[in-house]
Structure 1
Amino acid sequence: SLPQVWGRTVQTVFIGGGTPNIFGPQAIDMLLKALRSLLPLSADCEITMEANPGAGRFSQEATDWQGYRQAGVTRLSLGVQSFDATSLKAIGRVHDSTDSLEATQAAAKVFDRLNIDLMYGLPGQSLEMAMHDLETALSFGLGHLSLYQLTLEPNTLFASRPPVLPVDDVLEAMHDQLLSRLAASELDRYEVSAFAQEGQACRHNTNYWRFGDYLGIGAGAHSKLSLPDLGVIRQTCTRHPGDYLKAVHGADGSHRRQEPVPRDRLGFEFMLNTMRLVHGVEADLFERVTGLSPQHLARAMSKAQARGLLDCSQGRWAPTRLGLDFLNDLHVLFLPQ
């Protein structure tokens, strides 16, 4: 895929998958050096690495935060999920509450750009437990927080054996009180699940939400590219690591599948991403990144505005407060007819 991105400067790098810190700092250093040898990185390139707080149980290197910083990582994202031992056990995490606390405390001393992921609506979780998790997170003076409600995804253990989750009234109370507490903090909500201090928003994820281009490398990775001859395309890499490596070694390109985004689906995909942003996007972005006229969306946008889900004013398209709360209802209006 490199020929498809020749001439572009890499603005952000995201080393994801939840547990990249099973590789020590030396391996991450080698990875970033290899990347720099192939593509130019901007001087202020944001380099995020996800990390599992419990990986230190398997290797001391996994919590060598200073080593990762020296390797070139500029932003760390810790998959804490909860600071409560019972909650972590209920969702099958390898780390416990002590790991969560120690990893966050140690990483905060090294990284001035630190995110932690928190979940609510966990099995057996009460409103008080959810609020305690948030207060614990805020006590570290974080620059960024990602907050998600637990969802049961298809083809997972939870989906086949659903745990007992908080009832809808409790989930609604959690949602409202967590957002209310965050509104009173130094973290501003800039995306449906993301909160940040000024200058701390994740540039990599913001590029996704603005329907920008990105190149995914590795088993199961996804890409979205805009190409002069093909338009907007999506690519998917072979999912199983063993099959991926075998295909890569074959050097025949079979590790990466590619397909164009149909013209009649571009509007939906654009709105699916951009309407996650609390303040939306500038109105002319749609034409710039899709090549289509805004008239392509006129009918759906009229419906969305009539239902109070979308605000189109001051040169921007943005979800209303109601639109953020009922984001799926907003998105579905833009599905191809």
Structure 2
Amino acid sequence: MKGGLPESEYISHVLDDLMEDLPLITNNGQLREVSSIFIGGGTPSLLSVAGMQRLLDGIAARIPLAASAEITMEANPGTVEADKFIGFEKAGINRISIGVQSFDEQHLKALGRIHDPVQARAAVELAKRLGLRSFNLDLMHGLPNQNVADAMLDLREAIALAPPHLSWYQLTIEPNTAFYSKPPTLPDDDILWEIQERGHQLLTEAGYEQYEISAYAKQGQQCQHNLNYWRYGDYLGIGCGAHGKITMPPSTPALPAHTIMRTVKVKHPKGYMDFTRAYMDKVSQVESDDLAFEFFMNRFRIMEACPKAQFAKNTGRELTNIELKHLEKAQTMKLISSNYQEWQLTATGKRYLNSLLDLFV
């Protein structure tokens, strides 16, 4: 693989890592069924076809996969090659997420992307020809020095390519990145809001439904992995630096029923592939006091109403009086609406999501 990472050895470690985590999804000798696989982080499209086939075959041999399982692979347009992607589809990949980010060459250079607009368009056209179940196009807005007209031009080009799913999200400056040490000039809040409002209108008129804060899809094309994540579902994190969230089986010794654990695997490839140490780097229990924040931080990112019974089902406990007062305050601030059965994020709540979540901190 590019960068010198030995592909075959790494895949062996990933499969061994999966085997070590199987007790986390085993209850009374029965493994839980897996409904989606998301192969991301770095550039998984650099894998060879044979490597991808071995990885997916190895996963299927170790865990029960639902017949309708969604299997997504992230791809950088600069690594999209027709023969390889046909091979990936034959190996079992049925959904591709293409990290286009922008169709403007200057913005791509500012983001440090290795592809150009021509490669981005070609990658999307190839995905359309493959006969996949679905594919996603990743697009950013709020880029350095980007104005409303530039952002709409990018979005119109993405819509014209007719992806079944479009992730359209604002650039954020993350720690340990080049932008973090030397922050660029980003659009101000008024420009960002106008971009979001006009973009939402464009996407809606084109037949896309916003089902998550930063994701739009044609009817029936929502990403199942995303939905499980934002509904506060469980997921195994397998591979270098992977994060997982698991509700421990009731039969787990010395743990209360419905204990939720967060897992983190060794981040550096050299350490991850060191036979003298474990793949697991950190395991932490989500404390009871943090459950409301974690649940609503995820659940209020999606547009669908949240059944009130879902909180107890997913966390194993009832809301406290303090948390109920936070929800009442959110209603007073018109961030959410509520009836006997469910909570619903409002348009105001969508705009001021951070203010809503701050109520639970």
Q: State whether TM-score is above 0.5.
A: yes
Aligned letter for 2:271?
Answer: D
Answer yes or no: is the 8 Å Cα contact 2:334–2:349 preserved in 1: yes
Answer yes or no: is the 8 Å Cα contact 1:145–1:195 preserved in 2: yes
Query: 1:314 Cα deviation (Å)?
Result: 5.7
Query: 1:238 Cα deviation (Å)?
Result: 1.2
Answer yes or no: is the 8 Å Cα contact 2:144–2:187 preserved in 1: yes
**Does structure 1 residue 240 correspond to structure 2 residue 268?**
yes
Answer yes or no: is the 8 Å Cα contact 1:8–1:40 preserved in 2: yes
Superposed CA offset, 1:219-259 (max 9, x none) = 1111111112431111111111111111xx23x53533211
Matched with 2:238 is: 217
Answer yes or no: is the 8 Å Cα contact 2:231–2:299 preserved in 1: yes
Aligned letter for 2:134?
Answer: R
| Candidates 229, 242, 247, aligned match of 1:226 | 247
Counterparts of 1:18 and 1:184 in 2: how far apart (Å)?
34
Counterparts of 2:112 and 2:149 in 1: how far apart (Å)?
21
Counterparts of 1:160 and 1:49 in 2: how far apart (Å)?
30
Normalised to the residue count of structure 2, the TM-score between the two structures is 0.87
Aligned letter for 2:48?
Answer: G
Q: Where does structure 1 lack aligned partners over 5 or more consecutive residues?
A: none
| Candidates 287, 295, 302, aligned match of 1:262 | 287
Matched with 1:329 is: 355
Counterparts of 2:129 and 2:272 in 1: how far apart (Å)?
37
Counterparts of 1:302 and 1:85 in 2: how far apart (Å)?
47
Matched with 2:337 is: 311
| Candidates 296, 303, 309, aligned match of 1:284 | 309
Matched with 2:297 is: 272
Aligned letter for 2:172?
Answer: T
Aligned letter for 1:83?
Answer: F
**Does structure 1 residue 164 correspond to structure 2 residue 190?**
no
Q: Percent identity, please.
A: 41
Counterparts of 1:99 and 1:221 in 2: how far apart (Å)?
29
Structure of higher RCO (CA pairs closer than 8 Å, 6+ residues apart): 2
**Does structure 1 residue 114 correspond to structure 2 residue 135?**
yes
| Candidates 275, 286, 293, aligned match of 2:318 | 293
Counterparts of 1:76 and 1:241 in 2: how far apart (Å)?
24
Counterparts of 2:312 and 2:237 in 1: how far apart (Å)?
24
Aligned letter for 2:291?
Answer: L
Superposed CA offset, 1:100-127 (max 9, x none) = 1111111111124010100011123222
Question: 3-state DSSP class of the match of 1:292?
Answer: coil
Query: 1:50 Cα deviation (Å)?
Result: 0.5
Matched with 2:147 is: 126
Query: 1:32 Cα deviation (Å)?
Result: 0.5
Stretches of 4+ aligned residues off by more than 4 angstroms: none
Query: 1:292 Cα deviation (Å)?
Result: 1.0
- The size of the alignment, in residue pairs, is 328
Aligned letter for 1:185?
Answer: A
Query: 1:325 Cα deviation (Å)?
Result: 0.6
Superposed CA offset, 1:18-67 (max 9, x none) = 410011222111100010111110111110100000124xxx47x73221
Answer yes or no: is the 8 Å Cα contact 1:277–1:318 preserved in 2: no
Q: How does 1:4-83 map to 2 (within 5 A)?
A: 4-6=24-26, 7-56=31-80, 60=81, 64-83=84-103
Query: 1:155 Cα deviation (Å)?
Result: 2.1
Q: CA RMSD in A?
A: 1.5
Matched with 2:207 is: 186
Question: 3-state DSSP class of the match of 1:294?
Answer: coil
Question: 3-state DSSP class of the match of 1:68?
Answer: helix
Query: 1:10 Cα deviation (Å)?
Result: 0.8
Question: 3-state DSSP class of the match of 1:137?
Answer: helix
Normalised to the residue count of structure 1, the TM-score between the two structures is 0.93
- Change in CA separation of 1:313 and 1:150 when aligned onto 2, cut-off 3 Å: same
Q: Where does structure 2 lack aligned partners over 5 or more consecutive residues?
A: 1-20
Question: 3-state DSSP class of the match of 1:64?
Answer: helix
Counterparts of 2:266 and 2:278 in 1: how far apart (Å)?
11
